[in-house]
């Protein structure tokens, strides 16, 4: 997951009533009662300055931005005018606001929202049109506003020239803490579960959504059921987790999907330049399409140029491969050693015509 931040800097952006507001503020300031230097700090000016600084800091910290408004799951909302109306309605505190087009909505946002600082969170943004319709430029917003986008595509954020922050996976301690909160009633579960829940944490590798989903799924079950469920997850990943992870895959074009599946099934741990040379031989334009996969956090390239992938994403890729056919011999990428043995043992070419990629695991000899 990526997040982008759009900061709205100070500039000549006063509303028409700005001059009157300034006069009003000066009048209010003149009527404020002051502090007595002698009474508060026995006449010590440096102590008095410290008191003033602390009081100002407290008031600033306690004072929120004028409005805090989230727009959840922007990706899921097909009609951008609905998102614009939701955003404008929440900030302007009106329920009967109507707009007829995205262009009109963008104009209204620029005109109506630029007079007050806002903290705006746009969740799960995945398209340029969404950003252009909801936060096209820093000049749309009052100085001091903070606009945060979350999404899965780094290139989308990069092309809109916003600050990009990569969201890191949770470390082991944070993973355990989050998992405990969903899987157990007590804060510190019994020691008997220790080995099993550490396997869960290792399995999800710090992925917050997976920790929450599996925590709820395993809540109230016995240790034996936990062990059985974990064994099942190795073959059949949790469907809810897979649905969320698959959104990034579904957003790829066909060539990018093939590069992703081939990488997940064949090339994890291999040198990225070596893999690119192989994929280019299949007209997959590897450098371009692998960059897309990196930007969408589907693959990673380590410092030594080897390809890496989160285990849950790799499991999702293999599940997609299995969906091609219930008969392994009709899957284009054949991975599982027992299936390979079954097909090769039958020696029937007809059922293997669909196979394009064959990975033979020679477990007995520790070879691949």
User: CA dihedral defined by 91, 96, 102, 106, rounded to 10 degrees?
Assistant: -30
- Report the chain's mean pLDDT, rounded to a whole number: 76
Domain ranges of the chain: 2-10+65-166, 172-235, 251-323, 324-368
- Tokens 């820093």 belong to 138
Percent of the chain having pLDDT more than 70? Answer: 69
More confident residue, 179 or 39: 179
251-323 classified as CATH 1.10.10.10: yes
Residue 365 confidence (pLDDT): 38
pLDDT of res. 366: 42
> Residue 367: what pLDDT?
45
pLDDT digits (tens, 9 = 90+) for 102-139: 888 888 888 877 777 888 888 888 888 888 888 888 88
pTM of the model: 0.63
**What are the helix (H) ranges across the chain?**
18-30, 37-41, 45-62, 80-92, 102-112, 128-134, 154-159, 172-183, 194-204, 208-218, 223-235, 239-250, 254-262, 272-280, 286-295, 311-322, 337-346
- Cα separation, 236 vs 312, whole angstroms: 11
Most confidently predicted of 17-26, 110-119, 167-176: 167-176
Once rounded to an integer, what is the mean pLDDT over residues 28-41? 67
Give mean pLDDT, residues 285-309: 91
């Amino acid at each position: 997951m990526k997040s982008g931040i759009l900061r709205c800097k100070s500039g000549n952006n006063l509303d028409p009533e700005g001059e009157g507001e300034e006069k009003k503020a000066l009048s209010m300031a003149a009527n404020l009662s002051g502090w007595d230097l002698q009474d508060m700090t026995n006449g010590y000016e440096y102590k008095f300055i410290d008191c003033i600084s602390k009081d100002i800091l407290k008031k600033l910290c306690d004072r929120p931005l004028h409005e805090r408004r989230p727009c959840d799951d922007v990706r899921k909302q097909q009609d951008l005018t609905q998102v614009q109306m939701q955003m404008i309605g929440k900030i302007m505190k009106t329920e009967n606001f109507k707009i007829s087009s995205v262009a009109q909505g963008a104009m209204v946002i620029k005109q109506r929202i630029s007079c007050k600082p806002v903290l705006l969170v746009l969740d799960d943004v995945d398209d340029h049109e969404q950003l252009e319709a909801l936060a096209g430029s820093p000049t749309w917003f009052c100085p001091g506003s903070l606009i945060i986008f979350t999404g899965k595509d780094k290139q989308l954020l990069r092309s809109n020239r916003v600050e990009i922050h990569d969201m890191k996976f949770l470390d082991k301690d944070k993973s355990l803490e989050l998992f405990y909160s969903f899987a157990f009633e007590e804060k510190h579960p019994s020691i008997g579960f220790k080995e099993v829940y550490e396997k869960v944490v290792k399995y999800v590798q710090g992925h917050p959504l997976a920790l929450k989903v599996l925590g709820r799924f395993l809540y109230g079950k016995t240790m034996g059921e936990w062990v059985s469920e974990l064994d099942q997850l190795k073959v059949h990943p949790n469907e809810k987790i897979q649905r969320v992870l698959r959104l990034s895959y579904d957003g790829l074009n066909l060539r990018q999907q093939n590069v992703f599946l081939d990488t997940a099934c064949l090339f994890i741990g291999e040198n990225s330049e070596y893999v690119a040379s192989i994929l280019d031989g299949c007209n997959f334009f590897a450098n371009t399409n692998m960059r897309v996969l990196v930007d969408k956090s589907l693959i990673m390239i380590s410092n030594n140029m080897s390809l890496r992938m989160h285990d849950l994403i790799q499991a999702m890729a293999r599940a997609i491969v299995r969906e091609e056919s219930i008969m392994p011999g009709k899957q284009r990428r054949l991975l599982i050693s027992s299936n390979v043995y079954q097909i090769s043992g039958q020696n029937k070419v007809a059922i293997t015509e669909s196979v394009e990629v064959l990975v033979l695991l020679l477990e007995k000899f520790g070879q691949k």
